[in-house]
Each structure stands twice: as structure tokens, then as C-alpha cells.
Structure 1
Amino acid sequence: MARMSWREACQLDSSLVSLERFFTVPPDYAKTLTGGLTNRCWKIVLSNGDAFVWRPTTAITQAFSISRFQEYQILSTIQHSGLSPKPIFINEKGLLVEWLDGHSLSETLTFEQLIEALVEVHNLPTTRLPVAPFGFTARVDHYWMQLKPELKTEQYQAIYRDWRNAPSLADVGSTLCHFDLAGYNMVDGQQGVKVIDWEYATIGDPRLDLTLSIDVAGINEMEAIQRYCQLRNIEGIDDWFEGIRAWRPRANMMAMLWYLLAYQLWGDDTYIQQAEHLKQQFCT
């Protein structure tokens, strides 16, 4: 993280200027936060030691169909759950949330911590959440339509075309889904494990959320589903096995398009390599 004065930070990122009326006294300093792919966030520290995270609205967030206002609504609704950072302030330039002290679980996340976190998220009440349900086809179409013609090769197009529709599955109900729940978005502090970076969160099929987390963590699918269903007292486990296996190719296609779009936006070869790796999984 690069530390700099508040004035220097405002010169580097003009969205920070929109916070000057919120802070009665200018912050002591700001740091750029590393680790986020979609978001280029800031840690803001006041002279009294209070700290916040600034999550700006940018062309990048818009490209990935991320709404800071929706993120704010979700965090506001679940702020008393003890699972997420509290939202502090929202404007058209971005979202300010509390800074959570603790250490990232990106390298030390256990199987049990991941499954328990997924269960906690999926058990949160959704009746008061003013957000639209996740539309899988609309999301992947949004990614695809933004890609330049040179990235829309025949192989990529065939994979996108074959898997762009959501699967027809037994209904297991909709829940709040994080859609990026992994160790890098979990913090272990004095008050236990908390989940950060809710920018992709919305209401959706929990089996898709589970699929994404299982694949990122590289854990055993059968053990994860069994433990998850046990913790949620779910008896119809077959619907979960079938659902996750139906969602997996679609989740991989969505991730493939995400990496293609990320490559187009940032030009980092790492992203195109990830997209190619996912493409090869379909080809083989």
C-alpha cells in the first residue's frame, strides 16, 4: 500500500474530493489498497486513528455492472448482522465503509470457515433488501457486448452461446449471495470472521454462489455440499449436487468473459491467460 498525504491522494484520485464536506477535518493520510481486481480502493485514516475504506465509482465498476448504491443498500440492510463492514456514506462518486481491523484469510482460510461464512450469508433475511434478483443471462450478455471484435474469437463465441442461459433446476429458493466469497474477501479480527467487498452481491441462486466459492478455494465439492446442507438443515441434497454441476460450466463461462473484459480494460496479460485457461477447459 502506498501511503500519501490527503492532498496528494485527492490529486491522484479526484473522487476523494467529494468527501471533503463529509470530513469536518481533512484526513491525516490515505493509502491505496492492493488486492482488489475490480475496485481500486483507498484506506483513509483520520488524525484520531479512525479508518475508512473508500470504494469509488469508476468506468471499471460500470463496465462490470457494479452499483455502489446497491452495495450501500445491501450493507445498510445487513449492518447489524456482524458479518460485514458498516456503510458510512454514499454519493455519486463512491461508497465509504468502515475499515475492519484484522488479517486477511487469503492464505489461511479453512474449509470450515468458508462453508460457515457461505451459510451465514445465505441465511441473512432478504425481505427488506431493495435489490433486483441476479440475472445470469443479462450479466454475461453485458460482458460480451462490451468486448472488442478482436477478442470475440469463434471459440469464445461458441462457449458463450452454448452456456449463456441459466439452467432449468429444482427450486431451492433465493438467498442473498456474495458472488465473490473467498479468503481474499474475508477478515479475521477480534470480533471474528467478517466478509468484505460486497460489490457483486445480490439475491440469487445460492448454488451458483456455492459453485464459485468451491472452485476458487479448490475444495472437495461433495464434502462442501454435504457440510453446507448439514449446517442449513437441508435434506434434499441431490438438488444441490445437480444444481452445482449445472451451474459450473456457466460460472466458468462467466468468469472467462470477466477475464476477457478485464484484459481489454487493463491490458494485463495475466487476465487473457486466465481466460485462455478457462477456454481450454471447455475445449477438452
Structure 2
Amino acid sequence: MARMSWQEACQLDVSLQSLNHFFSLPPSYAQTLTGGLTNRCWKVVLPDDNTYVWRPTTPITNAFAISRFQEYQLLSSIESSQIGPKAIFVNEHGLLVDWIEGDSLTSGLSFDSLLKTMISIHQLDTARVPVAPFSFTARVDHYWLQLKEEHKTEQVKDLYQALRSAPNLADVGSVLCHFDLAGYNMVKTEGANRVIDWEYASIADPRLDLTLSIHVAQVNPLESVYRYCQLCDISGADDWVEGVLAWLPRIKMMSMLWYQLAYQLWGDEKFLVEAQSIVNDLNGQNS
């Protein structure tokens, strides 16, 4: 993380200037935060040592259909659960949230521990969560429509067209889903594991959230589903197994489009490599 004076940080990222009227005294310093793919966030430290995270609104967040206002409303609605950071302030330039002090769980997190955190999110009261239901087709269409023709190869196009529709599944209800729950978005505190980066969160089929985390962690789908059902005291796991297996190729396709769009926006070859790896994986399954 690069540490610099507040004045230097404001010159580097002009969105920070929108906080000058919010703080009674200028922050002591700011640090760039590493690890986020979608966002380039800032750690902001005040003279009284109160610490925040600034999550700016950028062309990148807009490209991925991320709303800082929705993120603010969501975090405010689940504040009493203390599972996420406290939302402090939002404007058209970004979102300010509390800094969660603790150890990153990027490494050393068991999937069992992740599942327990996921379940605690899924059990939150959605009636108080003011976010729109998730539409898989609308999301992948949004990514696809922003891709330049040069990135719409025949392989990518075939997979998108084959997998853009949601599967026809038994209804298991809708819950609050984080949609990027992994160790890199979890912090170990004295009380419990807490979760950051709620920018993709929405109301959706819990099997979709579970499938995303299975895909990211590269763990055994069947074992993970059965363990989730055991922890939730769900007697019949068949609908859950069927759902996760049906969502898995679709989640991979959505991730492929995300990486293609990320490559288009940043020009970093690692995103193209990830996208192609998923293409090869899906084509290998379909062959």
C-alpha cells in the first residue's frame, strides 16, 4: 500500500476531494488499498486515528453495473448484524465506510468457515434490505453488450449464447447473497469473521451465491453442497445439488465475460489468461 499525504492523495484521485466538506479536520494521510479487482480503494486515517475506506465511483464500477448508493443502502440495512462495515457517507463520487481492523483471510481460511459466514448472510432478514432482485440474464447481457467486437470471439459468443438463460429449477427461496464471498473479502476480528466489498450483493437464489464461492475456491461441488445443507439443517439436498450443478457452467460463463471486460478496461493480460482458461474449461466439459 502506498501511503501519502491527504493533499497528494486528492491530486491522484480527485474523488477524494468530495470528502473535504465531510471531515471537520483534513485526514492525516491516505493509503491505496491493493487486492480489489473492480475497485481501487483508499484507506483514510484521521488525526484522531479514526479510519475509513473510500470506495470511489469510477467508469470501472459503472461498467460492472455497481452502484455505491445501493451498496450504502444495503450496508445501512444490515448494520445491526455487524457482519459488514458501517456505511458512513455516500455521494455521486463514492462511498465511505468504516475500516474493519483485523487480519485478512486471503490464506488459511477453511471452506467450512466460509460456509458458516455465508449462511449467516443468507439468514439475514431480506425484508429490510432495499436492493433489487438479481437477474442473471440481465447481468451477463450487460457485460456482453459492453465488449468490443474484437473480444467477442466465436468461442466466447457460443458459450454466452448457450448459457445466458437461468436454469429451470425447484424454488428454494431468495436470500441476501454477497456474490463475491472468498477469503480476500473476509477479515478475522476478535469477535468473528466479517465481510467487506458488498458491491455485487443482491437478493437471489442462495444456490447461486454458493456456486460462485465454490467456483472461486475450486472445491468439490457435491461435498460443499452437502455440507451447506447439513449446516442449515436442510433434510433434502437433491434440489440444492441440482441447482449448483446447473448454475456452475453459467457462473463460469459470467466470470469469463467479467474477465473479458476487465481485460478490455485495464489491458492487463492476466485477465485475458483467466478468461481463456474458463473458455477451455467449459469447452472441455461440453466436448
Where does structure 2 lack aligned partners over 5 or more consecutive residues? none
Is 2:246 aligned against 1:246? yes
Q: Post-superposition shift, 1:218?
A: 2.0
Question: Which residue of 2 is the match for residue 224 of structure 1?
Answer: 224
1:84 aligns to what?
84
Q: Number of aligned pairs?
A: 284
Deviations 1:153-182 (A, max 9, x none): 111100000000000000000000000000
Give SS of 2:168's match: coil
Identity percentage of aligned residues = 62
- The one-character-per-residue Cα deviations of 1:179-233 (angstroms, maximum 9, x if unpaired) are 0000000000122210000000010111010011012112222222122112222
1:21 partner amino acid: H
Contact preservation (8 Å) 2:175, 2:204: yes
Deviates more, 1:128-137 or 1:7-16: 128-137
Matched residue, 1:192: 192
Runs of 5+ unmatched residues, structure 1 = none
Paired residue for 1:144?
A: 144
The alpha carbon displacement at 1:279 in A equals 0.4
1:26 counterpart residue number = 26
Q: SS where residue 187 of structure 1 aligns?
A: strand
TM-score (norm 1): 0.99
Aligned counterparts, 1:1-284, within 5 A: 1-284=1-284
TM-score calculated relative to the size of structure 2? 0.98
Q: How many Å apart are 1:28 and its aligned residue?
A: 0.2
Q: Is the 8 A contact 2:221 2:245 kept in 1?
A: no
SS at match of 1:219: coil
- State the shift of 1:47 in Å: 1.1
Whichever residue aligns with residue 107 of structure 1, its letter is: S
SS in structure 1 of the partner of residue 167 of structure 2: coil
The amino acid that maps onto 2:205 is D
C-alpha distance in 2 between matches for 1:191 and 1:95: 25
- CA–CA distance in structure 1, aligned partners of residues 131 and 44 of structure 2: 28
- What is the CA distance between 1:101 and its match in structure 2? 0.5
2:78 is paired with a residue whose SS is: helix
**2:175 partner amino acid:** T
Runs of 4+ off more than 6 Å: none
